[in-house]
């Protein structure tokens, strides 16, 4: 049986989970792969730190170079997190002729294209299944299972912390800050939660999925990002009454008909993260708690859904083991490019500016309850070429200032934003208008 020697950089939650998983199921993997897996070294920050998963002191080191420079180690598993040092570790491993497995979505979002090029130059591979949606094998789906499909759209619930918070807010009379505090106490949210609740974690994952789906590496700065920090229980309640739930969505899509109609070649894609109203009838509306889900539409397969735990020790470890299995098979069959990490095949690929993205909208205004207000608001929208599908004044909100809900037909993001700025200046409108996009999953609706 071919022996494959591994080295881990990072012995925290995920690193401990991977060590524990290999100890538990390494023999099973070996029997399935025809490869014997051995962990030779694990680099950790502090040798004497108490760890939830016990690891033999004989294989621990506080110097990551001991892993990367060891000629006996064939695969380096980077599980340390962060970007700057992780990039140095991964570069050094690739340049030493070692394939790398990583769960680091922030690293790939910032430097993925560079690292893939280095891997190709040195004839090794870079595996990253665990970087998006934890235990859901969505990277394999896009690189392998759906390779014969043109992808028209991907919608992802990609952050378990946000999904937990929004689920709680939809079921209980509780506001964002209170749920966030409880999520931190339960370990679902970090002490400094900005990466999650402001949408950046989901944006890193959205960029990776968009790159795989459309064949050009999406710069993380081109992904439009909005988080959930400003969402109110009031709007979640109104959405419920209208037949919707609110989820933080990663949205990746392209109009598949335009290239054939216009002859202009590749059409820019949308790559965005924002809270969105989803019809209760759609399957993504029922993904709750800390679960993640990715909804993919291909031109041949149609609609497919992938759901599971998007984070946590075991889910991430499972995805890392999958990549270790692929790396082991490549070594067994003496190939580094059986499944390349990324194949750039669309040189003219581009991300559509958010100003040009067209959506439907939910808008809540707080207005003075007096005659003529609706007419002035409607006139501003009409002048901007924006149509109103319905106006609702919810009952039970008596007083001089009342909420009004507008459901808006398709409009470009910039036109909608400019119109709301004008509306906000009206004397009868109090406070900042609330705008949440309404996502259409069927382009014919």
Any idea which of 89-93, 251-255, 334-338 has the lowest mean pLDDT? 334-338
Mean pLDDT, the chain, rounded, equals 93
Model confidence over 207-223: pLDDT tens digits? 999 999 999 999 999 99
Q: Mean of the pLDDT values across residues 37-49?
A: 94
Last residue of a domain, one of 309, 324, 349: 309
**pLDDT(333) > 80:** yes
Same domain? For 190 and 125 the reply is no
CATH number, domain containing residue 367: 3.30.70.260
Same domain? For 257 and 290 the reply is yes
Into how many domains does the chain fold?
3
Last residue of a domain, one of 332, 366, 388: 332
Q: Identify which of 177, 176, 173, 133 has the alpha carbon closest to the alpha carbon of residue 156.
A: 133
Q: What is the pLDDT of residue 438?
A: 98
Q: Report yes or no on 430 lying in a domain.
A: yes
Model confidence over 422-444: pLDDT tens digits? 999 999 999 999 999 999 887 66
CATH number, domain containing residue 199: 3.30.360.10
Asked whether 5 and 72 are in contact (CB, 8 A), the reply is: yes
pLDDT bin (cut points 50, 70, 90) of residue 397 is: low
Q: Report yes or no on 445 lying in a domain.
A: no
Same domain? For 300 and 317 the reply is no
Q: Report yes or no on 49 lying in a domain.
A: yes
How many whole angstroms separate alpha carbon 42 and alpha carbon 10? 7
Q: Report yes or no on 353 lying in a domain.
A: no
Where in the sequence numbering do the catalytic residues fall?
A: 205
Q: Identify which of 66, 64, 80 has the alpha carbon closest to the alpha carbon of residue 11.
A: 80
What is the rounded end-to-end Cα distance, in angstroms, of the chain? 56
Q: Mean of the pLDDT values across residues 99-109?
A: 96
Same domain? For 410 and 268 the reply is no
* Tokens at 110, concatenated: 């910032």
Q: What is the pLDDT of residue 275?
A: 98
How many whole angstroms separate alpha carbon 227 and alpha carbon 246? 12
- The two beta strands, 302-309 and 291-298, are antiparallel
Same domain? For 179 and 220 the reply is yes
Residue 276 is given by DSSP the state E
Q: What is the pLDDT of residue 337?
A: 67
Q: What is the 3-state secondary structure (H, E, C) of 126-168?
A: EECHHHCCCCCCHHHHHHHHCCCCCEEEEEEECCHHHHHHHHH
Q: Report yes or no on 106 lying in a domain.
A: yes
**pLDDT(402) > 60:** yes
pLDDT bin (cut points 50, 70, 90) of residue 261 is: very low
Same domain? For 161 and 272 the reply is yes
Last residue of a domain, one of 309, 340, 374: 309
CATH number, domain containing residue 69: 3.40.50.720
Q: Report yes or no on 341 lying in a domain.
A: no
Q: What is the pLDDT of residue 117?
A: 95
Residue span of the structural domain in which 277 resides: 139-309
Same domain? For 287 and 325 the reply is no
**pLDDT(262) > 50:** no
Neighbours of 114 (CB within 10 A): 13
Same domain? For 278 and 155 the reply is yes
Model confidence over 173-195: pLDDT tens digits? 999 999 999 999 988 888 899 99
State the greatest distance between any 2 C-alpha atoms of the chain, in Å, as a whole number.
83
**Is residue 334 packed enough to be buried (19+ CB in 10 Å), middle (13-18) or exposed (0-12)?**
exposed
How many whole angstroms separate alpha carbon 137 and alpha carbon 121? 27
CA 294 to chain centroid = 9
- The two beta strands, 434-438 and 270-279, are parallel
Same domain? For 293 and 365 the reply is no
Q: How many Cα atoms sit within 13 Å of 358 on the Cβ side?
A: 10
Same domain? For 10 and 108 the reply is yes
Q: Report yes or no on 277 lying in a domain.
A: yes
How many whole angstroms separate alpha carbon 119 and alpha carbon 95? 8
Q: What is the pLDDT of residue 136?
A: 95
Same domain? For 167 and 73 the reply is no
**pLDDT(257) > 70:** no
Q: Report yes or no on 162 lying in a domain.
A: yes
Model confidence over 287-315: pLDDT tens digits? 999 999 999 999 999 999 999 998 889 99
Same domain? For 154 and 126 the reply is no
Model confidence over 134-165: pLDDT tens digits? 899 999 999 999 999 999 999 999 999 999 99
Residue 294's DSSP bridge partners are: 156, 306
Global pTM reads 0.94
């Amino acid at each position: 049986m071919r022996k494959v020697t591994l080295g881990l950089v990072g012995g925290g939650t995920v690193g401990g989970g991977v060590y524990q998983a290999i100890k538990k199921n390494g023999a099973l993997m070996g029997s399935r792969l025809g490869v014997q897996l051995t962990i030779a070294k694990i680099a950790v920050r502090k040798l004497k730190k108490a760890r939830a998963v016990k690891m033999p002191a004989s294989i621990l080191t506080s110097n990551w170079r001991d892993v990367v420079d060891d000629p006996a180690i064939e695969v380096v598993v980077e599980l340390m997190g962060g970007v700057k040092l992780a990039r140095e570790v991964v570069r050094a491993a690739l340049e030493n002729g070692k394939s790398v497995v990583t769960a680091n979505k922030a690293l790939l979002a910032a430097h993925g294209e560079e690292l893939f090029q280095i891997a190709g130059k040195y004839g090794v591979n870079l595996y990253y299944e665990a970087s998006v949606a934890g235990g859901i094998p969505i990277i394999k789906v896009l690189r392998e299972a759906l390779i014969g499909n043109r992808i028209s759209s991907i919608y992802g619930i990609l952050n378990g912390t946000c999904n937990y918070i929004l689920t709680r807010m939809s079921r209980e009379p509780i506001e964002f800050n209170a749920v966030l505090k409880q999520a931190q106490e339960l370990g679902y949210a970090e002490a400094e939660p900005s990466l999650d609740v402001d949408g950046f974690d989901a944006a890193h994952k959205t960029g990776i999925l968009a790159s795989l789906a459309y064949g050009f590496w999406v710069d993380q700065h081109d992904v439009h990002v909005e988080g959930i920090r400003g969402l109110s229980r009031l709007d979640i309640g109104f959405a419920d009454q209208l037949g919707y739930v609110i989820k933080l969505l990663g949205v990746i899509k392209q109009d598949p008909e335009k290239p054939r109609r216009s002859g202009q070649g590749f059409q820019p894609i949308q790559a965005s993260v924002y809270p969105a109203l989803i019809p209760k009838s759609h399957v993504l509306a029922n993904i709750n708690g800390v679960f993640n889900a990715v909804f993919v539409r291909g031109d041949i397969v149609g609609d497919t859904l992938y759901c599971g735990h998007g984070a946590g020790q075991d889910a991430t470890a499972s995805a890392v083991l999958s990549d270790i299995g692929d790396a082991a098979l490549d070594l067994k069959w003496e190939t580094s490019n059986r499944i390349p990490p990324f194949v750039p095949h669309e040189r003219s690929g581009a991300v559509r500016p958010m100003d040009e993205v067209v959506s439907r909208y939910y808008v809540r205004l707080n207005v003075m309850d007096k005659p003529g207000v609706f007419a002035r608001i409607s006139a501003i929208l009409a002048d901007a070429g924006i149509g109103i599908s319905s106006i609702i004044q919810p009952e039970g909100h008596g007083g001089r200032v009342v909420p009004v809900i507008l459901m808006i037909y398709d409009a470009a993001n910039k036109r909608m934003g400019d119109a709301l700025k004008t509306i906000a200046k009206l004397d009868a409108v109090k406070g900042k208008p609330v705008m949440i996009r309404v996502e259409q999953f069927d382009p014919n609706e």
